[in-house]
Structure 1
């Protein structure tokens, strides 16, 4: 890439209107989890800042994160790649291959040193000097370390890159782990999930691209706007949990009626992600909506946390035994309903008395 265009330059070159450009900026603002008062800054950055150079490398993984990304519906992955970022290297999405492709990676690292965004998909394989995961004739860990050292920021896409994923499951024969031991002092944004939600992937990279900084992160390095709530907090089945109404098997009447899947192994109460409100395929569905409990795929080591269909031993200390939740809430609800009913009766008597008094005064007059 010889000339670095801004997003606005790309729109002009393609003959697209200013209206389309602003609409795109509005969509990006929403996608990044920002309030509408940030729109002006997004438009300004999209007008002036050159498209971010992106290098996307692959370690020990299944390419599921890439596959998730290309199914993004808002915006389309094609719009992101062709109009919003300058993707210079990616095994899945690049047409080139072989030695020229690897040479282009080296050229890009040197030419845009300290400026490019490094997206990493897959775990770092550490056993036997990393020979179980080679890329371009080199151990992936070597490529990762060299590329991260010269990047402006690193985005760890997927649970494999964040914490090792299924490759790191016991007994972990390849010594796979998350990538942070190889990123040095370069800022890292963790975007866990198996795979992550595509719009989350885009939202994170565009935040870094437009503002030049990583988004606000939680204690585990995850962007707060996407990992600030548990799936349990945004689940449409939550009222059934609160009422103590649980499916006992996948084919019982409770399951068919959409009751809570907690007793079938749902890990929503301990999993932080945006599945409940963003979902997949333009908001069409997510595992719980399709009748499958959450397996906690954005949690580190989720593969080793017991059978995914078994109920968690407890919901958590502040809440207590899940079996008692419905009964307790039902009791509180009953008391509340009774109190509300009693208050309503009293209020009605007061209104009737006042009305009779008013009618009596009118008759006397």
Structure 2
């Protein structure tokens, strides 16, 4: 569930036996609450186990029973009491246009609330592509001037958990890693946790053998699509998108977009919303040692098949000629030979 090697089990057990629970403050900015919806559907671990047993969720204006002025006052008390110790989770982009009036929380711009909460945070988790990259509201021409969290705050350890929304178990896995070890997981060059964003969708896709064989759906309703062939030609961005959809999937491993027949749109990639059209194939596909498109891959496969047929045919001719010569030799020498 944490994406860790089995050799880490003793350390996980030791960490789980500690008494104190890390305090978490969860803010919501310019977003659709889809990340919350994803989080509460985590099956391994269950979101309820994380919230009730692994962390002390002191503030979340979506999941909390409290509301209004008393709840906002509680947030202020938490920031002061646990200054420098709490984990700040942020969902949503940060609109900066016109003083941040396009996203107000508790009567104040979200940007203001974010800066205040980040000041005393030990670390920050950017949940979802809105927090990590600015979100679909940051698509051109970005009228609200929406930014990612890391473009507004600095000087704090930050982990990006992009996705629209992220995979549920990725969300719970990251916060559990912090709860167990008191630190963010190892990150890649873009600030994403390596154990969940170390592979491309293309690397873990069950349709990969069809790509390697040059077998592609040309349209969503053709025979190839119905047979479950590779969706690269109809716009799948799996070859350039890093995420865990292919191996973790959704709803306790039930399915994910490619399995349901739709190509990956790269929702965990920066600026994916401006990379339209979604249904035209990528111009190139990286292959070890070369770059080739789907036509070339298909041609190579077809050429290899043709070459194999030709070789088989040639060998058959040679074998047939050998048989004829042997018959001629036997007829000349007579049956006693």
The Cα of 1:332 is off from its aligned counterpart by 4.7
Deviates more, 1:310-319 or 1:159-168: 310-319
**Which position in structure 2 is the counterpart of 1:94?**
64
Matching of residues 287-326 of structure 1 within 5 Å? 287-316=257-286, 318-326=290-298
Conserved? CA contact 1:149–1:184, under 8 Å: no
Conserved? CA contact 2:54–2:179, under 8 Å: no
Give the alignment's TM-score, normalised by structure 1: 0.82
Q: Which runs of 5+ in 1 are unaligned?
A: 1-30, 343-365
Conserved? CA contact 2:23–2:85, under 8 Å: yes
Q: What secondary structure is seen at the aligned counterpart in 1 of 2:118?
A: helix
Q: Could you tell me which of 69, 75, 79 is aligned with 2:45?
A: 75
Query: CA separation in 1, counterparts of 2:73 and 2:259?
Result: 45
Conserved? CA contact 2:39–2:169, under 8 Å: yes
**Which position in structure 2 is the counterpart of 1:161?**
131
**Aligned CA distance change for structure 1 residues 47 and 337 (closer, same or farther; 3 Å):** farther
**Which position in structure 2 is the counterpart of 1:254?**
224
**Which position in structure 1 is the counterpart of 2:320?**
none
**Which position in structure 1 is the counterpart of 2:140?**
170
Conserved? CA contact 1:207–1:215, under 8 Å: yes
Q: What secondary structure is seen at the aligned counterpart in 2 of 1:48?
A: coil
Q: Could you tell me which of 87, 90, 93 is aligned with 1:117?
A: 87
Q: What secondary structure is seen at the aligned counterpart in 1 of 2:58?
A: strand
Q: What secondary structure is seen at the aligned counterpart in 2 of 1:323?
A: helix
Q: What secondary structure is seen at the aligned counterpart in 2 of 1:186?
A: coil
Query: CA separation in 1, counterparts of 2:75 and 2:106?
Result: 10
The Cα of 1:319 is off from its aligned counterpart by 2.2
**Which position in structure 1 is the counterpart of 2:212?**
242
**Which position in structure 2 is the counterpart of 1:54?**
24
Query: CA separation in 2, counterparts of 1:337 and 1:212?
Result: 61
**Aligned CA distance change for structure 1 residues 243 and 40 (closer, same or farther; 3 Å):** same
The Cα of 1:331 is off from its aligned counterpart by 4.0
The Cα of 1:275 is off from its aligned counterpart by 0.3
Matching of residues 216-227 of structure 1 within 5 Å? 216-227=186-197
**Which position in structure 1 is the counterpart of 2:77?**
107
**Which position in structure 2 is the counterpart of 1:181?**
151
**Which position in structure 1 is the counterpart of 2:175?**
205
**Which position in structure 2 is the counterpart of 1:362?**
none
**Which position in structure 2 is the counterpart of 1:228?**
198
**Which position in structure 1 is the counterpart of 2:318?**
none
Query: CA separation in 2, counterparts of 1:41 and 1:283?
Result: 26
The Cα of 1:336 is off from its aligned counterpart by 8.0
Matching of residues 258-297 of structure 1 within 5 Å? 258-297=228-267
Query: CA separation in 1, counterparts of 2:34 and 2:21?
Result: 25
Give the alignment's TM-score, normalised by structure 2: 0.88
Query: CA separation in 2, counterparts of 1:58 and 1:338?
Result: 64
Query: CA separation in 2, counterparts of 1:191 and 1:219?
Result: 13
The Cα of 1:183 is off from its aligned counterpart by 2.5
**Which position in structure 2 is the counterpart of 1:21?**
none
Deviations 1:108-143 (A, max 9, x none): 111111111110000011111111111112111111
Q: Which runs of 5+ in 2 are unaligned?
A: 315-337
Deviations 1:276-308 (A, max 9, x none): 000000000000000011010001111111111
The Cα of 1:313 is off from its aligned counterpart by 2.1
1:142 aligns with 2:142: no
